[in-house]
Structure formats: structure tokens, C-alpha cells
Chains A and B, each alone.
Chain A
Amino acid sequence: MSNRDQPLVLVVGIGNPDRGDDGVGPAIARQLRVRVPSEARVLERSGDPLALIDDWDGIPSVIVVDAVAPIGEPGRIHRFDLTEGSVRIAFTPRSTHAFGVAETVELARSLGRLPGDLIVYLVEGERFTTGAPLSPAVAKAVDEVAELIIAELPRISSDHEAATGASSHA
């Protein structure tokens, strides 16, 4: 039985809008905010990633959007279903004090606080310069990821209905 105050889906755009392509998550979140149906909530996050565990508490489906370091093709979109598979964590020495998104997801899994459905969209960045706008390839990916997420919402709703239908009609 779902909580009436809780949305069915949470979309979280992660990043710093003032650091070039790191702002792709918030840019996608802003575009989605006016387009998603009422059962979805959209958040922008740039602070402590550990806060995500509370952000998604009680919400069945979560989509996280974030930028990744350049790995060959700026603007390339990666989609991962993290509900089952774990994130391969490379404990890089530069981020061992602050927990990143990958560490937060795995910590939530250890704590049994992972959403039932967790999808992550990652966009390869090109430049992360202070104050820079999104690079053209990454700006183009904003629309594409937004469309992919919009297209994914009916699937999430029907999965949820299938999962809860039996009990709500009981």
C-alpha cells in the first residue's frame, strides 16, 4: 500500500550548474519539472549525496541523472538499472572523505534502503570549467535524456500497478 503523500517516481538531477557540464543533471531536472505527471517529483541536488537516501525514502521508483567524466564521447548517454546490479566502486583517493553517488547507492543497498526500482542516466561531460555553460554536445543530450525519462514513466507506472494491483483490489 503506497503512502498518498509520496510520489510514485522521483527524478533527481545531480550536479553543480556553475561548473560547466556538471550542470547537466540539474538542467534535465528543470526541463522535466514542468513536464512530468503529478505522481512524479523532480529534485535538483548539489550538496551531500548521502542526503539521497532520505530523498528517496518510501518512493518506489527513482531515476538519478548525473554527469560523468569524459571517457571518449561528450554527450554520450548511459543508462543503468542499479536495482539488482551493484555499482563498481573505484575508491579514488580524491573522494574518500566525501561519499559520492556510487558509494551512496551501495551504502543504501547495504542498509536495505534502496528504492525498488533505481535507474541511473549518466551523460559524458566535456568540460567542467567554473562558470561555463553546458558544452554543445552535452546541451543536446539534455533534451534526449528528458525524452527518454518521459518515455520511461508509463512503464514505471504500469510496473507499479502490476506490483500493487492485487493488494489494492483485495
Chain B
Amino acid sequence: MASRTIKVDYIARVEGESSLQLHVRNGAVDAVRLSIFEPPRFFEALLRGRGFGEVLDIVARICGICPIAYQMSGVHAIEDALGIKVDAPIHALRRLLYCGEWIESHALHIVMLHAPDFLGYPDAIAMARDHRQAVERALALKKTGNELLRLLGGREIHPINARIGGFYRTPSRAELAPVAESLKRARHQAIETLRWTAGFPFPEFVRDYEFVALRHPDEYPMNSGRIVSSGGLDTAAADFDCEFLERQVPHSTALHSSLKERGAYLVGPMARYALNRDRLPAEIRALADEIGLEPVCRNPFRSILVRGVEVVYACDEALRLIADYEPPPRPFVPSEPRAGIGHACTEAPRGILYHRYRLDAEGTIIEARLVPPTAQNQGVIEEDVREVATAGLDLDEEALKARCEQSIRNHDPCISCAAHFLKLQVHRT
């Protein structure tokens, strides 16, 4: 039987440059290669030789969608190296800032990037003609998330207000009041969006992922917690290298991550929800039940529902944090340089983001290591595509391509962060 090659030269509605090649031999999927050809960005090298105080402004530049994640992993890792403990109100403000990023990033992906796949539109622009209210809700949600980023981060893209030990400036209660009003509307818009997506046609598809996420004693994880997995992993960020392995693959400029013991694993909303559903307030769990979201979701096409639940939660959590907010007595804890190694892992919208820095006695970065969520998910994405393609080999070329692209977008990959990514090429021989 003839071989077949299916190629997607550029995978749309993902951030960054990547392609997918699928080799089909004798009617079976032979090879799947998610090629990330975005040039390496050398951020880890760029950080070397810089002062610890410069880290947050540099790493914020890695991503226009999730700069807060980079700043939060960066700030916690540097503070770990310097032995800094921040005041409770600073911890709360950081969580509030992260809520803003989850809201804007998830809303963008759910409605503008992922929903067109389920409704048969090439993009959100075409979808907007028939689903105007849904797109208007997404714009309003994104705007609310951006409001939080602007107020706490100084500006919505590549924020500048986070610093080691806290913030350059902390907001007054009066400044937060209008954002709370936006968040009350956003909460309603998020619930409407979740109910809208719950009506989408979801393919029957289940994978046996090992989920990896943070777990905190009290909180749905954002800035802190231990790294745990559905396979029994329970470790501190400082032991990341003991459990995880990064390796180069010839077809990608992003390193592939795996669990040393068990291989590919999944990070992101599905993992976070599966491992931390009990940390969500009862109201949010009831909402998830109402829309039919299973407590452990193993169908990646249904990840859009998990993101939707997280947006509602982020709105609620932000409102709680604003209601409880008392301006901290000082905007930041002073820091003194010292030699050391610091590690941190926080929950970016797309999953755990690990940072490690080694500093010399003057506080200069000697070594930096950043492991973004999309790099960690590459193995799982390739396996998803292999199974989706195997089940869809009878589909015509265009339908198969569309299904494969959708299965990649299920994970909201951020190639620019990982390249350290999409074109689909299917080779049939």
C-alpha cells in the first residue's frame, strides 16, 4: 500500500512558528514530528552576566501572552536564592496579578483560538459574524484581565512593576475598586462563555496522561506548591532535575521534557484541575458539575471546559483578593546580593513553568534555566496527534489535517515560549 505524507506548513492559531509532519506507512501512522523551527531565542544565555534585579524585566519579554508567569517564576526563584521571604499582602497581590493573566490568556484561547475548531470556522473573525455575543464576551474578559495587568503590572504587555521582594508600587484600595466592578461583570461573562462551550460537539477521545501540576495545602495552585503528578510524583521545585529530563530532538528547536521514570507527561489546565479540583470552592465545583465536566478530564478536546472553569475561578479569586486587600506596609522587602542557587515553579496558564538561577556573591546571574510548559507538553502533543491521526486515517487530507491541528490547539501551545513552533505534513509511503 502506498505511503502517505500529510504536511501542515504553518499551524495557525498558535503562538510561534511550527509545523507538523505525519508519516503514514502501509495504513498506519509511522512517525509524528512536531517541528518547532522558530529560531532559538537564547534567553538563558542573555540572562548570564546580568544583575538579579534585571531578571524580571528580561524574562517578561519572553511572552506577550504570559509575561506574568515568567515574572512570577523568576521572582520566586531569585528570592529563593537570596533567602527573601515576602509579606503576606505581597503574596496576595502576586496571586491577583496571576488571576489577571489567567483571565486574559484563557479567554483569548477559548473563544478566539479554540472555539472556531468546534464550530467549523477558519478563524475568530469569520466566527464573529455568527457568534457576535461570544466574541464580545471574550473581548470584555480579555479587557478585564488586562486591567489587572495594567494596574498591578504597570502595563498590559511586558509588565514592569514586579520586582524582587514585591512591587515598585502597590495599588490603593480605591484604585482596585473599579477593577472589582469589571470583575463582577467578567464573572458573569465567564459563566456565559463556559455554558456556550459546554454545548460544543466533542470528539470521543480519551488519553491516559500522567498529569503534572503544583499542589498547595490550601490554594488552587498559582505561585506556590509542590510538584505532584497522577503517577505519584511529589517533589519540591528544587528537585526538578532529579525527576525531569530535558533532551534535544533533531526536528525541534525546543527541548523535549520527560519524567525520568515514565516519559511524557501533561501540564496545564487539565492537569491542574485533575490534581486540584478539591482546592476549588464548592460553587466552582458545582458549576463544573452543572456543565458536565468530569472531575478528571482525560479528553484533551474538552480542555476548553477546564479553561472556562478556571476563568470563572480566577474572577472569583480576584474579587476575593480585592475584598480582603489591605495595602502592604512596604511595597517590597529589601534584598541583598549573595551567592546561591534558587528554584521556583509556578502555574502559567499553560502549565508549570520552572526557573533555576545560580548567582554569585554580587548577585550576578551565572547560570539560568527556564523550562516552559509548551516544551514540557511536546511529547504529549505528538502522542495525541498520533492517536488522533490513527483514528482518522480514513478521513480526506483536509479533514485529517484539521483534526490534527485541532488536537495541537487543545493544548494552547505557545511556541515562542517553547523555542524555542505550526506547519502539518503527512507523509504516506
Interface residues, chain A, CB within 8 Å of chain B? 46-48, 50-51, 53-54, 89, 91, 93-94, 96-99, 103, 106-107, 110-112
- Partner of A47 from the list B124, B132, B136, B155 (CB cut-off 8 Å) is B155
Which residues of A have CB within 8 Å of B155?
A: 47
- Partner of B125 from the list A48, A94, A110 (CB cut-off 8 Å) is A110
Which residues of B have CB within 8 Å of A103?
A: 125
Interface residues, chain B, CB within 8 Å of chain A? 10-18, 38, 64-65, 108, 112-113, 123-129, 132, 135-136, 139, 142-143, 146, 155-157, 414, 416, 422
Q: Are B157 and A97 in contact (CB under 8 A)?
A: no
Which residues of B have CB within 8 Å of A99?
A: 112
Q: How far is the CA of A106 from the CA of B125 in the complex (A)?
A: 7
A48-B146, A50-B139, A97-B64 known; A91-B112 Cβ under 8 A: no
Which residues of A have CB within 8 Å of B132?
A: 110-112
Q: Are A96 and B15 in contact (CB under 8 A)?
A: yes
Q: How far is the CA of A99 from the CA of B157 in the complex (A)?
A: 13
Which residues of A have CB within 8 Å of B12?
A: 91, 93, 96
Q: Are B126 and A110 in contact (CB under 8 A)?
A: yes
In addition to A50-B143, A110-B132, 4 A-B residue pairs with Cβ atoms within 8 Å of each other are A48-B156, A94-B17, A97-B14, A97-B414
Q: How far is the CA of A48 from the CA of B64 in the complex (A)?
A: 9
Q: Are A110 and B10 in contact (CB under 8 A)?
A: no
Q: Are A111 and B128 in contact (CB under 8 A)?
A: yes
Q: How far is the CA of A137 from the CA of B379 in the complex (A)?
A: 49
Q: How far is the CA of A149 from the CA of B143 in the complex (A)?
A: 30
Q: How far is the CA of A106 from the CA of B126 in the complex (A)?
A: 9
User: What are 30 A-B contacts defined by CB distance under 8 Å?
Assistant: A47-B146, A47-B157, A48-B156, A50-B139, A50-B142, A53-B139, A54-B143, A91-B123, A93-B11, A93-B17, A93-B422, A94-B16, A96-B13, A97-B13, A97-B14, A97-B108, A97-B113, A97-B414, A98-B15, A98-B64, A99-B112, A106-B125, A107-B124, A107-B135, A110-B126, A110-B127, A110-B129, A111-B132, A111-B136, A112-B132
Q: How far is the CA of A47 from the CA of B127 in the complex (A)?
A: 24
Q: How far is the CA of A131 from the CA of B146 in the complex (A)?
A: 26
Closest to A109 in B: B125
Closest to A94 in B: B17
Q: Are B16 and A93 in contact (CB under 8 A)?
A: yes
Which residues of B have CB within 8 Å of A50?
A: 139, 142-143
Q: Are A110 and B157 in contact (CB under 8 A)?
A: no
Closest to B112 in A: A99
Closest to A108 in B: B128
B155 to A: closest C-beta gap in Å: 7
A144 to B: closest C-beta gap in Å: 29
Which residues of B have CB within 8 Å of A91?
A: 10, 12, 123
Interface centre among A96, A111, A112 (most CB of B within 10 A): A96
Q: How far is the CA of A47 from the CA of B150 in the complex (A)?
A: 10
Q: Are A96 and B135 in contact (CB under 8 A)?
A: no
Closest to A102 in B: B125
Q: How far is the CA of A93 from the CA of B135 in the complex (A)?
A: 22
